Amino acid sequence: MAYTADKPKLAESSDELRARIPGWGVDLDPKDRPSVPQERFDPTLNGAHWEFPERQPEKWPRERSIEHTFLTPVFGTSCPPRGLSGMIRRYSYRRYSEGRAAHWLLLLAADRVDVVEATFASFLTRHPDNPITETGVLSEFTHHGLPSRLGGKRVDRVHHPLDPVLVAAPWVLAAGVAYLALRRVAGRTRN
Amino acid sequence: MRAMVYRGPYRLRVEEKDRPPIEHPNDAIIKVTRAAICGSDLHLYHGMMPDTRVGMTFGHEFVGVVDEVGPSVRNVQPGDRVMVPFNVYCGSCFFCARGLFSNCHNVNPNATAVGGIYGYSHTCGGYDGGQAEYVRVPFADIGPSLIPEWMDDDDAVLLTDALATGYFGAQLGDIVEGDVVVVFGAGPVGLYAAKSAWLMGAGRVIVIDHLDYRLEKAASFAHAETYNFGEYDDIVVHLKKITDHLGADVAIDAVGAEADGNLLQHVTAAKLKLQGGSPVALNWAIDSVRKGGNVSVMGAYGPMFSAVKFGDALNKGLTLRMNQCPVKRQWPRLFEHIRNGYLKPSDIVTHRIPLEHIAEAYHIFSAKLDGCIKPLIVPNPA
């Protein structure tokens, strides 16, 4: 035990474990493991046939961390920044390094603004957002929702009610604002 | 093409998108035959990862068939059946030259602290992922490998992240013969880490979770001794008791940012996004490992600060090791282990769901319904 020098004895010996568990000890030698050592200098390891990669064309001003010297030669092109969320994102990248909490908090704020923008925009299309189908919540009825949640000693049960609140709150809020706005317009029209 | 598209926290749908074009001479376009949802995808799904944009396609675990290649691609050609590591990497930067593929400096303009990851927000480079019919794969000469003929897609897709990460996590624990290893989390990475610990000679492997069905899998798949932390007032004290009050030699955090077990930590991180992650499992790892022991962190955390107990880690003289897995370094050895019958990755797959029903798949996985451990996505069901 911890209060004396010897290590506690194990219930099973190595031979017993080798007999019981397929492959026990095949990677026993720490030096003969694929990620040991973690850093291993070998520039020919990867099959790269360039010293520095050719540059991918930049089709719009690509936002980048100010901790980079220049735009990396290759980058993702999903979802260019747009609207107010795009302005917040560009500002966050332009102004703050990755070491600043403001950088990440602004990006998280932009994510929320992006959702509001995209949801409103979807109502101008033939595919408006549908919180029922998009949350997959109907699987509660086809994949043992209640028994799965109530069974065993799940400790997350206590915060399960927060999820629907988090999902529904913006919709309820938006519906409330829309109702109040309509009521005000209707009131003015009557007067 | 049909693709999963993020619409906001807890919401996504399948939309018609343009098939991705070749954007760089060493790009390939892959027709996806199998994808998976990773536990870390749930952090995106729940809106925890900064710069996750509406319209992005997630998915960093996928395999498929090469559909088109750029003019400088030499190592793969159309028709090849390939598996693609979740790391986007150039193969030639300072970090890639040292085997740190997950830390590549040439693929992620948005951040220097993380490399490129398919379908994992703009913080990880802004690449669309593989939960779609087609996906763009940069540096096709570097990342993708041909899938061995004897390996099926269900096994191959699990090598692109979950299995490689679990195996890597066990390596970071520096396990030596007879070590007591405790793994927090019986999800896919935890199960593979527990199984891998035996390969490295562990003398005892303990898995902790609060979901009984996952602990049953840990016992049957990974031969582990299991404990449900929901049944104990203080799981750290219990772990001390069952290790002669010494603690485990190695602790592996295979949970990450949405860990349960402390309501304040979970709600401030996963629900209110005020932390980079809920470090409950990491703190338990720090507290339950023995002094001088090793903690391996495989659970994914966001880039913001988290309330981690570094004081205890310092005072106990711990070694904390962590990284995103450099996947391709693990493959040759893992191929051997699968071929020899030591590992059967797809044994943990519980659901195979068509792409059109991916919103349900995310909900089932996120809410842990229906005994879900690992859901695979089938973009083009036969």
Whether B157 and B171 share a structural domain: no
Q: Check if the beta carbon of residue A113 is closer than 8 Å to that of residue A87.
A: no
Judged by CB atoms closer than 8 Å, whether chains meet at A22 and B363 is answered as: no
Judged by CB atoms closer than 8 Å, whether chains meet at B304 and A134 is answered as: no
User: What's the CA angle centered on B320, arms B239 and B103, to 5 degrees?
Assistant: 135
Whether B140 and B233 share a structural domain: no
CA distances from A103 to A78, A96, A107, B277 (A): 20, 5, 6, 17
Which one of A41, A65, A77 has the shortest CB-CB distance to B98? A41
Whether B107 and B184 share a structural domain: no
Separation in Å, CA of A177 to nearest CA in chain B: 20
Instruction: Count the domains in chain B.
Output: 2
Task: Tell me the two tokens of residue B324.
Answer: 């995103």
Q: Report the alpha-carbon distance of residue B47 to residue B271 in Å, rounded.
A: 9
- Name the pTM for this structure: 0.96
Strand partners, B206: B182, B225
Residue B9: Cβ within 10 Å count: 22
Residue that is last in its domain, among B322, B338, B367: B322
Judged by CB atoms closer than 8 Å, whether chains meet at A134 and B361 is answered as: no
Residue that is last in its domain, among B274, B306, B322: B322
Number of inter-chain CB pairs under 8 A, A vs B: 327
Which one of A27, A51, A142 has the shortest CB-CB distance to B199? A27
Residue B351: closest CA among chain A residues belongs to which residue? A143
Judged by CB atoms closer than 8 Å, whether chains meet at B75 and A47 is answered as: yes
Strands B61-69 and B28-36, how do they pair? Answer: antiparallel
| Residue-level pLDDT, tens digit, chain B, 382 residues | 999 999 999 999 999 999 999 999 999 999 999 999 999 999 999 999 999 999 999 999 999 999 999 999 999 999 999 999 999 999 999 999 999 999 999 999 999 999 999 999 999 999 999 999 999 999 999 999 999 999 999 999 999 999 999 999 999 999 999 999 999 999 999 999 999 999 999 999 999 999 999 999 999 999 999 999 999 999 999 999 999 999 999 999 999 999 999 999 999 999 988 899 999 999 999 999 999 999 999 999 999 999 999 999 999 999 999 999 999 999 999 999 999 999 999 999 999 999 999 999 999 999 999 999 999 999 976 6
Strand partners, B88: B116
Which one of B90, B98, B171 has the shortest CB-CB distance to A36? B171
Q: Report the alpha-carbon distance of residue A51 to residue A112 in Å, rounded.
A: 40
Here the ipTM equals 0.96
Whether B107 and B65 share a structural domain: yes
Separation in Å, CA of A1 to nearest CA in chain B: 5
Q: Check if the beta carbon of residue B65 is closer than 8 Å to that of residue B54.
A: no
Which one of A21, A78, A114 has the shortest CB-CB distance to B223? A21
Percent of chain B with pLDDT over 70: 99
Judged by CB atoms closer than 8 Å, whether chains meet at B367 and A133 is answered as: no
Task: Tell me the two tokens of residue A166.
Answer: 């988090």
Give the DSSP letter of residue B337.
H
pLDDT tens digits, residue range A112-157?
999 999 999 999 999 999 999 999 999 999 999 999 999 888 999 9
Q: Crossing angle, helix A162-190 and helix A101-122, to 10 degrees? A: 60
pLDDT tens digits, residue range B324-350?
999 999 999 999 999 999 999 999 999
**Residues of chain B with C-beta less than 8 angstroms from the C-beta of A81:** 53
Separation in Å, CA of B13 to nearest CA in chain A: 5
Residue B260 structural domain: 163-322
The pLDDT confidence band at residue A190, using thresholds 50, 70 and 90, is: confident
Predicted pLDDT at A170? 82
Residue that is last in its domain, among B282, B300, B322: B322
Q: Report the alpha-carbon distance of residue B20 to residue B23 in Å, rounded.
A: 9
**Residues of chain A with C-beta less than 8 angstroms from the C-beta of B101:** 46
User: Which amino acid, B18?
Assistant: D
Q: So where are chain A's domains?
A: 60-71+80-129, 130-169
CATH number at residue B294: 3.40.50.720
Separation in Å, CA of B190 to nearest CA in chain A: 17
The number of CA neighbours under 13 Å toward the Cβ of B99 is: 11
Which candidate in B2, B44, B54 is best for mutational testing of the A interface (most A CBs within 10 A)? B54
What letters, b where the CB count within 10 A reaches 16 and e where it falls short, cover A125-159? Answer: eeeebebeebbbbebbeebebeebbeebebbbeee
Percent of chain A with pLDDT over 70: 100
The verdict on whether omega for the bond into residue B78 sits within 30 degrees of 0, i.e. cis, is: no
| Three state DSSP letters for chain A | CCCCCCCCCCCCCHHHHHHHCCCCCCCCCHHHCCCCCCCCCCCCCCCCCCCCCCCCCCCCCCCCCCCCCCCCCCCCCCCCCCHHHHHHHHHHHHHCCCCCHHHHHHHHHHHHHHHHHHHHHHCCCCCCCCHHHHHCCCHHHHCCHHHHHHCCCCCHHHHCCHHHHHHHHHHHHHHHHHHHHHHHHHHHHHC
Whether B167 and B157 share a structural domain: no
Q: Check if the beta carbon of residue B257 is closer than 8 Å to that of residue B269.
A: yes
Q: Check if the beta carbon of residue B270 is closer than 8 Å to that of residue B260.
A: no
Whether B204 and B101 share a structural domain: no
Judged by CB atoms closer than 8 Å, whether chains meet at A167 and B337 is answered as: no
Task: Tell me the two tokens of residue A182.
Answer: 């309509």
pLDDT tens digits, residue range A146-189?
999 998 889 999 999 988 888 888 888 888 988 999 999 988 88
CA distances from A112 to A84, A115, B95, B117, B272 (A): 11, 5, 34, 22, 12
Judged by CB atoms closer than 8 Å, whether chains meet at A14 and B371 is answered as: no
Whether B104 and B157 share a structural domain: yes
What's the first-to-final CA gap in chain A, in angstroms? 85
Predicted pLDDT at A103? 98
Whether B141 and B187 share a structural domain: no
User: Which amino acid, A87?
Assistant: M
Whether B153 and B249 share a structural domain: no
CATH number at residue B41: 3.90.180.10
Residue B138: closest CA among chain A residues belongs to which residue? A74
Residue B244: closest CA among chain A residues belongs to which residue? A1
